[in-house]
Amino acid sequence: MSFSALGLDSKILQAVKEAGYTEPTPIQVAAIPPILAGHDLIGIAQTGTGKTAAFTLPMLTKLATVVGDGRQRGTLALVLAPTRELVFQIEENVKAYGKHLPLRVATVFGGVGEHPQINALRAGTHLIIACPGRLMDLMQRRYADFSHLQYLVLDEADRMLDMGFLPSIRQIVRSVPQKRQTLLFSATLSKEIETLTHEFQHQPKLVQIGRRSNPAETVTQLVYEVPKSLKTALLVHLLKEPAMDMVLVFTRMKHAADRLARQLEQNGVKTATLHSNRSQNQRLKALKDFKSGVVSVLVATDIAARGIDVDGISHVVNYDFPMHSEDYVHRIGRTGRAHAVGDAISFVTPEDHGELRALERFIGRGIVRKRAEGFNYAQVVPHVVEDRPRHQQQGRGQQSRPQRGQSGGQPRPQHSSSQSRSPQSRPPQGGRPQYGGSGGRPQPGGGRPQEPVSGNREGGNERHFPSARPQGHVRRFGPR
């Protein structure tokens, strides 16, 4: 099946070609024709399957016929997403696929100054990509007018429910026209999601890619059983494998992410962190450094990693075993994205065995157990190093990381099915465009909480994001 057989607008097809896509992914083949035919749609697909393009391409095709005539119609399409990272990524997708359209797009999310977003909402934007909390806030103050809205997308709806956004979503949906096309995407089809679709959609078509909760097929999954005290040592050991050149590591808590990053740095591993205590600029820098190969390891928490779209991640390591099986599916979906191949490694301590069994039931298969070759499972690790402040740790425990291609004196584990790549061989990443000005500003402590407001297992909300970048500006892509 080719893209041209799907009925997309010629300007969109041109952009898809320029993005380098040769053929549509299964979710795109299944979802694009019914969306173009005007149906409501429930898309059950894991992250990394190309689901963003599955709703963006047909929506832009429909918008293509109306945005070019210069008439002001107000906002025609609204995409709701759980995190600002996902909002950025959807925006990047829209920007790439809509580059030949005179499309006006704005983003709206919390934790940054609201004035650029208010201006964008007033300016008559065709398409808005928003987190529900901030959008609800601006709508209540009558800054948004959705009276002409035709398309509503709820992306990662399961996660929006987890994060407590249902009341905001309900209010937003009540304020948009009843006659509209509604697309809902979720990694899993839970009872709650089914209830949501009954409430918001009209005779939706269901498109389901793969089995429910089935992790991406291309990912090789392995479990390493390890005592808790040896997890960091085991990670350092595994990272000596040259194929582990772009590794996303998950911890449950943000302080654990910081501590692990410090320990890895002490062992000569260039590491960045991504969690909700980091500012917007720190997060963007961490992602940029990871994408460009400045660091080879990114340590992240579940919430912060939501929506990360980085090509070429070689491995995902569950340093802390995920508390919820759904999180496992989301985490390992970060590797093996689209058609690439990647490995997912999970550290399992004796305390995690119950959760491992639950996960294996959830994904409907057992996960291969592996022992790291050349790793000293009998070693005793002093406990004290872990919780000391960084400056006190200088000069201790230093052990330089072997150069790529060297064995480091220990035999390498033979777990990887990924090809070894140097940082230079990473796929080119344009990164986020640079924006001038300084529209963003930190929110004062008071005021209404923005997203997320609850259900955040990191133990804090995601509000503290001073940003040097003006947020929510209307950007015009393509010809005017």
Beta strands 181-186 and 342-348 are: unpaired
User: How many CA atoms, within 13 angstroms, populate the side-chain half-sphere of residue 66?
Assistant: 17
Stretch of residues binding ligand AMP (CB under 6 A), selected from 24-32, 67-75, 177-185, 436-444: 24-32
> With binding defined as CB under 6 A, does residue 335 bind ligand AMP?
no
Of residues 97 and 250, the one with the C-beta less far from ligand AMP? 97
Stretch of residues binding ligand AMP (CB under 6 A), selected from 48-56, 203-211, 375-383, 470-478: 48-56
3-state secondary structure of 113: coil
Return the ∠ at Cα 198 (arms to 194 and 203), rounded to 5°. 110
Name residue 158's amino acid. Answer: D
> With binding defined as CB under 6 A, does residue 83 bind ligand AMP?
no
Name residue 436's amino acid. Answer: G
> With binding defined as CB under 6 A, does residue 217 bind ligand AMP?
no
d(CA 303, CA 108): 18
Beta carbons within 8 Å of 293's beta carbon, 6+ residues apart? 245, 246, 423, 424, 426
d(CA 393, CA 267): 12
> With binding defined as CB under 6 A, does residue 24 bind ligand AMP?
yes
Query: Is the separation of the CB atoms in 294 and 246 below 8 Å?
Result: no
Of residues 52 and 325, the one with the C-beta less far from ligand AMP? 52
> With binding defined as CB under 6 A, does residue 309 bind ligand AMP?
yes
> With binding defined as CB under 6 A, does residue 50 bind ligand AMP?
yes
CB of 241: closest distance to ligand AMP in angstroms?
A: 25
Of residues 212 and 404, the one with the C-beta less far from ligand AMP? 212
# of chain residues touching ligand AMP (CB under 6 A): 15
d(CA 199, CA 193): 10
> With binding defined as CB under 6 A, does residue 113 bind ligand AMP?
no
d(CA 396, CA 182): 57
E strand segments, 20-169: 41-44, 77-80, 103-108, 127-130, 151-154
Q: Which residue from 11, 39, 51, 262 is in contact with ligand AMP, where contact means CB under 6 A?
A: 51
CB of 203: closest distance to ligand AMP in angstroms?
A: 25
E strand segments, 109-157: 127-130, 151-154
Stretch of residues binding ligand AMP (CB under 6 A), selected from 44-52, 251-259, 362-370, 382-390: 44-52
E strand segments, 226-377: 247-250, 271-274, 297-300, 315-318, 342-348, 368-370
Q: Which residue from 39, 40, 44, 49 is in contact with ligand AMP, where contact means CB under 6 A?
A: 49
Query: Is the separation of the CB atoms in 412 and 367 below 8 Å?
Result: no
> With binding defined as CB under 6 A, does residue 450 bind ligand AMP?
no
> With binding defined as CB under 6 A, does residue 48 bind ligand AMP?
yes
Any idea how long the chain is? 480
> With binding defined as CB under 6 A, does residue 194 bind ligand AMP?
no
d(CA 173, CA 297): 40
> With binding defined as CB under 6 A, does residue 21 bind ligand AMP?
yes
> With binding defined as CB under 6 A, does residue 1 bind ligand AMP?
no
CB of 82: closest distance to ligand AMP in angstroms?
A: 13
> With binding defined as CB under 6 A, does residue 336 bind ligand AMP?
no
Query: Is the separation of the CB atoms in 372 and 236 below 8 Å?
Result: no
> With binding defined as CB under 6 A, does residue 341 bind ligand AMP?
no
> With binding defined as CB under 6 A, does residue 52 bind ligand AMP?
yes
CB of 226: closest distance to ligand AMP in angstroms?
A: 31
> With binding defined as CB under 6 A, does residue 47 bind ligand AMP?
yes
Residues that bind ligand AMP (CB under 6 A): 21, 24-25, 28, 47-53, 309, 311, 337-338
